[in-house]
Structure 1
Amino acid sequence: MKLTESTLREDPRIERLLKNPNWKPAAEAAMAFYFNGTDCPIASWQKSSTWAQVKMVLEELGKK
């Protein structure tokens, strides 16, 4: 199964990030980076726990 952005968005951990207005922009930027190669608009987001959580879930789902 190929991991898609919609699959990632359905994960409860990512849903939680996207529902929080403080975390949503960084989570969206991380998904755009990993799926489309889009540069992150705010460099500090790449060091945030939100970014790390998106990466962790991506890696976890990619192994399934």
Structure 2
Amino acid sequence: MKVVAHQDMCVSAGQCAFTSPALFDQRDDDGVVVLLNQPIADQHDDARRAVESCPARAIDIEE
């Protein structure tokens, strides 16, 4: 699994960081998504939840 965070599409809602804090954070200055790490096997469900919760659809998963 590869996660791609599209910072240009992000609306700074923060759902990704709330849902999956081990994988996502937000920039301090504007709240835009930051991908911290690619998910390991036991984090795949967390990554999928973050994708589903993003109102801007700014996170994609490539499998």
TM-score range, shorter chain: 0.3 to 0.5
Please state which structure has a larger fraction of its residues in helix: 1
Higher normalized contact order (CA 8 Å, seq sep 6+, divided by chain length): 2
Please state which structure has a larger fraction of its residues in strand: 2
TM-score, normalising length: structure 1: 0.33
| The structure with more radius of gyration | 1
TM-score, normalising length: structure 2: 0.33
